[in-house]
Amino acid sequence: MKAPATWLAALPKHRLLAEYSLWSADLIRLADDMARVEPHVDVWHVDVADGYFSPAFLFFPDLVAACRKRTAKPIHVHLMCADAILAAQIDQFAEAGADLISVHGENANAAEMLARIKGHGIAPGIVLKVETPVASAAPFIESIDFLTLLGTRIGVKGQGLDPTACPRLTEAKALIGPRAITLAADGGIRDTTAPLLRAAGAETIVMGSLAFGAPDLAARMAWVHGLSPNA
């Protein structure tokens, strides 16, 4: 695992970044699917849900440890978990090889957990549900490297982008200001919405079927990387 400052500084700043969500990979042939798309990945995105904080139930530390052996790209673990288990989850995913761990701003112990993540030498991030005011990220803004805004209801695949997603990104961009914090959009990423999210301020998008289902992945990524922040 690289030190946070090293891999974060190495991310391209001149183009839209691509986080590839393993939730959208072929879960039966995960290693093969990772190898297929690896050349186009900036950051791997691993959703972790406890079936309580989020209705989904996925992924686990041993899987991340296995993925870690198969890639040198950074791994972003997004914890959608109840307060009571966050500390244990952070410790386990840190040991498994995560490079970035994000917790939710809705977690009552989020500030404490950000410090715990940083204590592992890992980059910390905050995620906000689509219904949570962007201003609620303000208390954490000096403690994070990533801010991710969900554009759909948490833990449910295949939804359309919420109409508030783009204005929320613009608000978050203003909140971040000159700080070296990467702003990510997660959920509802389609060929019709990616340009809008980029123009609203997204610096990385969490790609699912838009990447894994692309008939020509190289062409799809050339298009993504070419999206303008000033559209």
| Structural domains of the chain, with CATH | 4-225 (3.20.20.70)
Residuewise pLDDT in 10s, the chain (231 residues): 456 668 999 999 899 999 999 999 999 999 999 999 999 999 999 999 999 999 999 999 999 999 999 999 999 999 999 999 999 999 999 999 999 999 999 999 999 999 999 999 999 999 999 999 999 999 999 999 999 999 999 988 889 999 999 999 999 999 999 999 999 999 999 999 999 999 999 999 999 999 999 999 999 999 999 999 985
- pTM of this prediction? 0.96
Q: Which amino acid is at 22?
A: L
Q: Which residues of 11-23 are buried (b: 16+ CB within 10 A; e: fewer)?
A: eeeebbbbbbbbb
Task: Look at residue 230 in the predicted model and tell me its pLDDT.
Answer: 81
Which H or E run contains 192?
none
Give the per-residue pLDDT at 87.
98
* pLDDT on residue 1: 47
Local structure of residue 151 (DSSP, 8 states): S
Q: Which residues have C-beta within 8 Å of that of residue 21, sequence separation ≥ 6?
A: 45, 46, 47, 206, 207, 208
Host H or E run for residue 188: none
